[in-house]
Chain A
């Protein structure tokens, strides 16, 4: 019986229950809901259409399961479970041993908004599930907008002026994406007569398909539409960001994989996404923002894989999405733990934490190893599918860019994150290990990273497409190890010889020299140029927006001619003018 209930329904009902409970009951609830839902999905749900309704002459399919949606369904249940384990301590007061209050910000741990966070995270996870099981574009649109609204509350939960403004910007961008989605859906429905969400051919489906792709792209963080990720994710609470990183972009990846697999344009968009964030990530100081950039880079691999479009590539993309939610979640969790215990996330403020937080440091290194694609870790067996597929389809340039980007991942995520937070110069902060639930959540994440890396064949059976691929061949392992070893050796050499500069400057630019054979000045000038162009484009766009707003205000503001109360005489004059105009129009 439970199998005919859409997965989102359990979460939505659960959210109501969570809203009206407190203390231990709530804790049991938030863990039980994703657990029950996940077990039900795993054991009780077969592929097929489970729910259909008629509305306005169209067939809506709010619940359709196939291998692709089921994979994301499992993933989101795991992510929700991990997220709730991680956020379980909320509402119990500031954790023991935290020095967060030294920073001055009142509630940096997000403890005071525990109820809001639990309820909105539950609704948010439910919306993500609703979206991946949506069999038509209208249902998808509804959950698309719900995702936006529910997640905005996770940003607002930080309860600061800044997070309020950020959350609002975030919401606007996502509502625009939703409106575009609906517009595209309407156009497609008009031309094809159906709102079913199936593969869409960009070359024949008309402008509606492009609008739909842009709508998906905004949520996936396509270049120029990526700013919301790095803007919003660092502004949420330590626990909120963990949820945020899991769902929104992955729903978009799912939607693109279903709708636009094999669209060539995606290869290039994806490739650009893999390398341009690296420059920013290397220069960035806020470690959670670094992870935001790193997220765009990882999504780039997925988008490129979807664009390549072969069975192997699409499998690679969705498998990488799966792995990414877990290792990126793990990294965000470790940074969230640091933030909860120290109140800081900037590289320059941290360092030396391994002395008092050894477990967190170890778990963070697990996540860093996974994202850097060390053999025996998850990204090694997922990202490689995309790279191999690129070679197989003769996209050599694309492959080279991806290789470069992989090295960049090691620099900005693999080394920078754990090094600056836990090692580097000693900041003198003596914060204790985070609460047990945080450690447990991180441990589960770390175990999953390793399990996928060690038993890839078991994981591959879940993937939607047919393929024949074995990740552990000699060449692959060797190439990857070379790439990683040279990066690591360079790093160590520079550290020992004392050339390694202070982290306030762009350290990784120097480490880049060794295996890229490029002078640091190139990276710096390229990075600088990208930043300058970006700043210029942004400021000129803002100027146009500002002028438009000023104009709108002049005409529509409370004293503008369109909004004033007019004297009766002028009103009547308007009538006369219109009468004359109509007479001329009708008679001549």
Chain B
């Protein structure tokens, strides 16, 4: 069975999704969803180990050889992203059991878990497939289910947020499929490896730059790169807590993966960055995102919204690393993919704990929570330290690589912006700390610590964010090798 793992990581959850909807009862549906997530988690670890040991895995679906059949092609980048998605999914599903029960009505529970598995499957599918049209299909699977998940938020504004996300997400996906179509018209193939081989021959044709344009806009829209991030804050703010934690740590990460896959593997780094000068587009936008979105975050009163804007800024860091188009830069980008997933997951989960007990995550309702919910707020501080980039947290590791990559290119001002971004992060994290620890609580509330069902997954991510901050060798090594694969310099 082990040679079928590349497809089973997708097929098993895909089959379990309708099952979750059919069982009807939310408890049973949760068990199905948990089984799906943990299955994918296990398989993803196995895949990473196999890729590390044996190199890229190619799997032909139904035995149809590529480029005619659909090929699943798992290199280190795919395996790493799939592992991030699966890990966060496995933690988030544990968290969802308590959190979703409080935030989503019980009769919708089964549908929720079904959508959750679908979203999860779609994200995994994008990362493992080696076929561009298949990417589009999985992108739609994950997006459509994500709209449904967001719309289940308690707040009525969740509906409009989901609607806006739907419009923008569809525009993005359409642009991507237009780009794919244009490439297909020129090369007659949809297989990534095959495309990469055939594209250089037709690169002089105007169709290719047009395809490149549509893909740039489509992908930067999906990954919420400034100024195409406008759909994100509301979607993250009003979604159910478990959904925010899951989507914030995975969906944009997979979009970053798309960026890497299309511009490094399909078009090739040389074409993208030297001929099309993609870095001249990405770097300024990334820098603007880091500064302005951090500033916006400072002014937010709703902590989930604050974290959402911080996410847009953090996406800026990832894209910044990638825009250097050097091994060190791409390593920084990939590393931050993983590291940000851990810290933002932890932070949104901590806010989910607050939501569970307080019923709101607005700052004015969080006074004195440091005393009433010590573990929750300690988790927030732990995640916040990572966001700032304090040593011995994952955030520090990312920033370290990022600054080194900037210095390698001699870009002092860029390095300075990265450090300045950390200072802004200090301010917005402090805002929450100040309210929670230094302002007196309303003595009438009887707010207690969040239940263990929420605290354990939250703390799992917090501890991971410290663990991988102290022992960064594993992740940094994988990220470096993945960057070498993408830039074609490694084995």
Residues of A within 8 A of B (CB): 55-56, 138, 141-142, 145, 164, 175-176, 179, 182-183, 186-187, 190, 207, 552-553, 555-558, 560, 562-563, 565-566, 568, 570-572, 574-575, 578-579, 582-583, 585-587
| B228 with A556: CB separation less than 8 A | no
Cross-chain contact B213 with A556 (CB below 8 angstroms): no
CA distance A563 to B216 in the complex (A): 24
Interface SS of A by simple majority: helix
Residue pair A556, B397 in contact (C-beta under 8 Å): no
Question: What residues of B have a CB within 8 angstroms of the CB of A138 in the complex?
Answer: 391
Majority secondary structure of chain B interface residues (helix, strand, loop or mixed): helix
Give the shortest distance, in Å, between B214 (CB) and chain A (any CB). 7
In the bound assembly, the distance between CA atoms of A565 and B233 in angstroms comes to 8
Which residue of chain B lies nearest to A586 when distances are taken between CB atoms in the complex?
B209
Given A571-B164, A571-B168, A578-B217, 7 more A-B residue pairs with CB atoms under 8 Å apart are: A558-B301, A562-B292, A562-B295, A563-B299, A574-B228, A575-B221, A585-B281
Interface stretch among B195-203, B342-350, B399-407, B481-489? B399-407
Say whether A582 contacts B476, CB under 8 Å.
no
**A574 touching B227, Cβ below 8 Å:** yes
A190 in contact with B295 (CB, 8 Å): no
Contact of A179 among B299, B423, B476 (CB under 8 A): B423
B212 interface neighbour in A552, A568, A586, Cβ under 8 Å:
A586
Which chain A positions have C-beta within 8 A of B233?
565
Within 8 A of A (CB), among B275-297: 276-277, 280-281, 292-293, 295-296
**Residues of chain A contacted by B408 (CB below 8 angstroms):** 190
| In the assembled complex, B467 has its CB within 8 A of some CB on chain A | no
A176 neighbours in B (Cβ, 8 Å): 423
Asked if A578 meets B228 with Cβ closer than 8 Å, knowing A183-B416, A586-B212, A586-B213, the reply is yes
List of A residues within 8 angstroms of B234 by Cβ: 565
B472 x A578 contact (CB < 8 A):
no
Query: Is A562 a contact of B296 with CB atoms below 8 Å?
Result: yes
**CB atoms of A578 and B299 under 8 A apart:** no
Closest residue to A570 on the B side, CB-wise? B230
A186 & B391 in contact (Cβ 8 Å cutoff): no
Contacts of B452 in A (CB 8 A): none
Q: Given A175-B423, A190-B407, does the pair A579, B228 have CB atoms closer than 8 Å? A: no
Flag whether B187 is at the interface (Cβ < 8 A). Answer: no
Nearest opposing residue in chain B for A566, CB measure: B230
Q: In the complex, A192→B168 CA distance in Å?
A: 48
Task: Tell me the complex Cα distance, A566–B485, Å.
Answer: 40
Query: A566 CB to closest chain B CB, in angstroms?
Result: 5
Shortest distance between the CB of A473 and any CB in chain B (Å) = 50
Closest B residue to A572 using CB positions = B171
Contact with B300, one of A145, A558, A568 (Cβ below 8 angstroms): A558
Tell whether, in the assembled complex, residue B213 and residue A579 are in contact, meaning their CB atoms are under 8 Å apart: yes
Contact among B163, B276, B296, B426 with A563 in the assembled complex (CB-CB below 8 Å): B296
Q: How far is the CA of A141 from the CA of B400 in the complex (A)?
A: 13
Q: Are B295 and A556 in contact (CB under 8 A)?
A: yes
Question: Closest CB of chain A to B433's CB: distance in Å?
Answer: 11
Q: A183–B230 Cα gap in the complex (Å)?
A: 32
Measured CA separation A183–B421 after assembly (Å)? 13
Verify if B156 is at the interface (C-beta below 8 Å from A): no
Residues of A within 8 Å of B227, CB to CB, are 574, 578
A-B interface contact total, Cβ < 8 Å? 108
- How far is B228's CA from A556's CA once the two chains are assembled, in angstroms? 16
Per-position 1/0 for B213-250, Cβ under 8 A of A: 11011001100000110110110000000000000000
**Which residue of the partner chain B has the closest CB to A58?**
B400
Chain A residue contacts of B182, Cβ below 8 A? none
Contacts of B470 in A (CB 8 A): 55
Q: What number of B residues sit within 8 Å (CB to CB) of A?
A: 55
Which listed residue (A56, A558, A579, A585) contacts B476, Cβ 8 A? A56
Are A187 and B407 in contact (CB-based, < 8 A)? yes
Inter-chain CA distance A578–B230, complex, in Å, is 14
Name the B residues within 8 Å of A183 (CB-CB): 403, 415-416, 419
Quick one: closest A residue to B302, CB to CB?
Answer: A558
Assembly CA distance A575 to B216 (angstroms):
11
Given A562-B292, A571-B231, A575-B217, do A186 and B299 touch, yes or no (CB 8 Å)? no
Q: Which residue of A lies closest to B171 (CB)?
A: A575
In the assembled complex, the Cα of A210 lies from the Cα of B307 at a distance in Å of: 35
Contact A587 B391 (CB under 8 A): no
- Taking the nearest CB of chain A, how far is it from the CB of B177, in angstroms? 14
- List 8 A-B pairs, Cβ < 8 Å: A183-B419, A556-B292, A560-B299, A563-B300, A568-B164, A572-B171, A579-B214, A586-B209
Smallest Cβ distance from A174 to chain B, in angstroms?
11
Q: Which residues of B contact A557 (CB under 8 A)?
A: 299
Question: Is B99's beta carbon under 8 Å from chain A?
Answer: no
Measured CA separation A562–B312 after assembly (Å) = 12
CA distance A578 to B285 in the complex (A): 12
User: What B residues does A552 contact at CB under 8 A?
Assistant: 295
Q: Would you call B171 and A179 a contact (CB within 8 A)?
A: no
With an 8 A cutoff between CB atoms, is B441 at the interface? no
Nearest B residue (CB) for A189: B404
In chain B, residues 354-402, which have Cβ atoms closer than 8 Å to a Cβ of chain A? 390-392, 397, 400
The CA of A558 and the CA of B298, in the complex, are separated in Å by 10
* B206 adjacent to A556 (CB under 8 Å): no
B168 touches A175 (CB 8 A): no
Residues of A within 8 A of B164 (CB): 568, 571
B419 to chain A, nearest CB (A): 5
B422 on interface, CB distance cutoff 8 Å: yes
- C-alpha gap A563/B308 in the complex (Å): 11
Query: Knowing A562-B296, A568-B168 touch, does A575 contact B209 (C-beta < 8 A)?
Result: no
What CA separation (Å) do A176 and B420 show in the bound complex?
10
Most buried by B among A138, A553, A575: A575
Q: Are B213 and A582 in contact (CB under 8 A)?
A: yes
Q: Would A553 and B299 count as touching, CB distance under 8 A?
A: yes
Q: Is B175 in the interface zone, CB < 8 Å from A?
A: yes
**Do A571 and B230 touch (CB < 8 A)?**
yes
Residues on the B chain within 8 Å of A179, using CB:
419, 422-423
Residues on A with C-beta less than 8 A from B292 are 555-556, 562
Q: How far is the CA of A187 from the CA of B175 in the complex (A)?
A: 42
Instruction: Tell me which residues across on chain A come within 8 A of B472, comparing CB atoms.
Output: 55-56
Docked-complex contact A582 and B281, CB < 8 angstroms: yes
B11 near A: Cβ within 8 Å? no
Q: Given the known A-B contacts A145-B390, A183-B415, A186-B415, are A575 and B299 also in contact in the complex, defined by CB atoms under 8 Å?
A: no
Query: Chain A contacts of B293 at CB under 8 A?
Result: 562
Q: Which 8 residue pairs across A and B have the least CB separation, nearest first?
A: A556-B295, A190-B407, A586-B209, A556-B296, A563-B296, A582-B213, A571-B230, A557-B299
Contact at B168–A182, with CB atoms within 8 Å?
Answer: no
Q: How far is the CA of A434 from the CA of B424 in the complex (A)?
A: 45
Which residues on the A side are within 8 Å of B212 (C-beta)?
A: 586
Query: Which listed residue, A182, A560, A579, A582, touches B296 by the CB 8 Å rule?
Result: A560
Write out the residue numbers on chain A whose beta carbons fall within 8 Å of the beta carbon of B231: 571
From residue A553, how far is it (CB to closest CB) to chain B in Å? Answer: 7
CB distance from B14 to the nearest CB of A (A): 30
Inter-chain CA distance A556–B426, complex, in Å, is 17
User: Residue B64 at the A interface, CB < 8 A?
Assistant: no
Residues of A contacting B422 with CB < 8 Å? Answer: 179
Q: Is B61 an interface residue (CB 8 A)?
A: no
Q: A138-B391, A586-B212, A587-B209 given as contacts; is B167 within 8 A of A182 (CB)?
A: no
A56 to B209, CA, bound (A): 40
Choose one: B216, B391, B426; the contact of A142 (CB below 8 Å).
B391
Alpha-carbon distance A570/B227, docked complex (angstroms): 11
Q: Does B210 contact A (CB under 8 A)?
A: yes
CB distance from A580 to the nearest CB of B (A): 9
Cα distance A157–B281 in the bound complex, in angstroms: 50
Assess the B299–A56 pair: CB atoms within 8 A: no
CB distance from B273 to the nearest CB of A (A): 13
In the bound complex, how far is the Cα of B206 from the Cα of A586, in angstroms? 10
Instruction: A572 to B117: give the CA distance in the assembly, Å.
Output: 29
Known: A164-B438, A186-B415. A572 touches B213 (CB 8 A): no
Nearest Cβ on chain A to B412's Cβ, whole angstroms: 8
B217/A182 in contact, CB under 8 A: no
How many Å lie between the Cα of A557 and that of B295 in the bound state? 8
